[in-house]
Amino acid sequence: MTLTIEFSLTVDGIIEGSVAVPVVSGCVVRIEKMTEQVVRCPYCVLGNYFVPMLSRPEGWFICSKCGHSAIPEKPEFRCFCQKCGELKRAA
């Protein structure tokens, strides 16, 4: 008999990076690889964690609170939201 272990991740916004919470399904513990990426707004805090930004099908993320946007695959992307504008002026 072989033991098969599958890897899975929930995408409810609580789990980040590659950290996984085992989900017990029947007698099989499933831990799947995460395919959804959670990007959080660096400006908006909800409770004691940063607000997850909405993911766009184009591959970028936008904060529904302040309008901050980010493209994880493009670090050179410059956001033009008000908060980033203030930072640029202060620098």
Q: Which residues are at the interface with Zn ion (CB under 5 A)? A: 41, 43-44, 63, 65-66, 68, 79, 81, 84
Alpha-carbon span 76 to 88, nearest angstrom: 14
Residue 71 or 81 having the CB closest to Zn ion: 81
| Residue 17 backbone zone (phi > 0: left; psi -120 to 50: alpha; other: beta) | left
What number of other Cβ atoms are within 10 A of residue 56's Cβ? 11
Residue 44 or 71 having the CB closest to Zn ion: 44
CB of 23 to Zn ion, least distance (A): 30
Which residues on adjacent β-strands are paired with residue 45? 50
Residue 33 or 65 having the CB closest to Zn ion: 65
CB of 69 to Zn ion, least distance (A): 6
